[in-house]
Amino acid sequence: MPTFNTIAEIKGVEKPDEYVILSAHFDSWDGGQGTTDNGTGTLVMMEAMRVLKKFYPKPKRTIMVGHWGSEEQGLNGSRAFVEDFPTIVENTQAVFNQDNGTGRVVNISGQGFLNSYDYLSDWLSAVPKDVSKHIETDFPGNPGSGGTDHASFVAAGVPAFNLSALDWAYWNYTWHTNLDTYDKIVFDDLKNNVIGSIHAGWKGAMAGIIENTIKKYAVVGHPIEHSKSPQIHQSFADEFGMQLIYERIDIALGTFSKQVIAMKKEGYFGLNVTIPYKRDAFKICNQLSEKSKLTESVNTISFNGEDFIGDSTDGVGLVKDLIAKKVTLRDCSILLLGAGGAANGVMYDLIAQKPKKLHIFNRTYDKAKLMQKKWEILAKNNNVNITALEFLGLDNTNYDLVINATSSGLVEGAMPMASEYFIPETMYYDMTYGFETPFMKASKAKGAKTFDGMGMLIEQAAESFFIWHKLKPNTTNTFKIL
């Protein structure tokens, strides 16, 4: 026995190939007239379309109404539609399905779509209070697995929602019986539903596309194989039951901007940037946080529309880790080794902690001097004595904390400061992680407190995660995993 779907549409003006679908089913079991299952659903959607056509004849996207045949025998009509029209399905913004009974809509579930809260709430905000006050929502909810036609769309990944109605004795009285007749219609409730459907359809047709795709991020650098950022971000995401893709991508020297622009086009939502591209990342961003402007370094890029938004979370990462390690930074004396990107990248946050002294020592003195000049004003405003040292000596290495921000750890046997200057009373922090550097070995040999950069790495990742997802992960769990 062939069955049929009855489809109509109001063509979108701006994006005719994108759709919002109003949905109900036309068939019923033999017995009564099939009024509440589902004459009332199709009646609501037809009336919604009539009003939409009359008052909003030029929607941005196409509004389609689908009256599916053979719902009762296994969602055959809607399933066939999903199979037969993959292009429409791919470009469907939302489906609103009305099935059970004649009652007013009282419940909408987010069907497991993580971002459904934002969109449905926005759409419902346009529905008059008298109608929306009856509607409870459930986010993110569970995906419908059958029962009525929205499930055919949910199975194909389309954000499809069922407008669950008040029962009015539907389940135990009219449903699939010969009592399902015209006299059971509660017209006031149906009018409510028409108004709700009009607004949902209209808002859906006008609003942004619902995001049902898993967001994609990556860390980029050269070399990059060693990076632990993918594990860290995955473990943060697991904590919130969130799905995301986080990749590790090597960018060949000289191709940074080209690659990053391509990744934005490919749909990445954000990037972490590591050696040697933090300055290139700073240059490519058109919106910069205050900190990245001063440090001229970006380790977190967010793509938003046409914008490349840059931030630097390394400094907060270092400071948070030091605080977690119970290091008091206020009024303490710090020696910072190095005057490259890594050292500059943490200056803003170190100064903001108001240490008494912040001395800089670098293999190339001129670079340390330049760095001092660059940070002088901020240091002065925070009462921090900032000095670039030309030489180190036994009499001037008595600091509370020495931080190694040089890349000397990557050079076999290289030391950023002679081993005789290490003393047991000082704490030594190396931003390098993953192996023991000569700097760490020398400080351990003196019996001094020694830390590597793993904590900083995790904390800076947590800050990036917060920038992208507005969620603060628990970093102690991540330590255990790594």
Residues in contact with ligand ATR by the rule CB under 6 A: 275, 338-343, 362-364, 367, 406-408, 411, 414, 416
Cα–Cα–Cα angle for 195, 109, 29, rounded to 5 degrees: 75
Q: Quick one: 27 or 280, whose CB is closer to ligand ATR?
A: 280
Number of Cβ atoms within 10 Å of the Cβ of 398 = 12
CB of 367 to ligand ATR, least distance (A): 5
Distance from the first to the final alpha carbon of the chain: 61
Q: Which residues contact 252 (CB under 8 A, 6 or more apart)?
A: 222
Catalytic choice (203, 278, 291, 320) = 278
Burial classification of residue 476, based on how many CB atoms lie within 10 Å of its CB (0-12 exposed, 13-18 middle, 19 or more buried): exposed
The residue nearest ligand ATR at its CB is 340
Two tokens at 222?
């050269």
- Indicate the residue among 97 and 408 with the shorter CB distance to ligand ATR: 408
- Mapping DSSP to helix (H, G, I), strand (E, B) and coil, where does residue 358 land? strand
Which one, 378 or 414, has the nearer CB to ligand ATR? Answer: 414
- Tokens 């690659």 label which residue? 259
**CB nearer to ligand ATR: pick between 212 and 362:** 362
Decide: 133 and 162 in contact? Cβ < 8 Å: no
Between 12 and 416, whose beta carbon lies closer to ligand ATR?
A: 416
Helix (H) or strand (E) holding 440: helix 438-445
Place of tokens 């390098």: 432
Shortest Å distance, C-beta 312 to ligand ATR:
12
CB of 423 to ligand ATR, least distance (A): 20
Closest distance of CB 342 from ligand ATR, Å = 3
Sign of CA dihedral 204, 160, 57, 132: negative
* Shortest reach from residue 368's CB to ligand ATR, in Å: 8
Distance CA 189, CA 221 (A): 59
278 is catalytic: yes
Which residues are catalytic, by number? 278
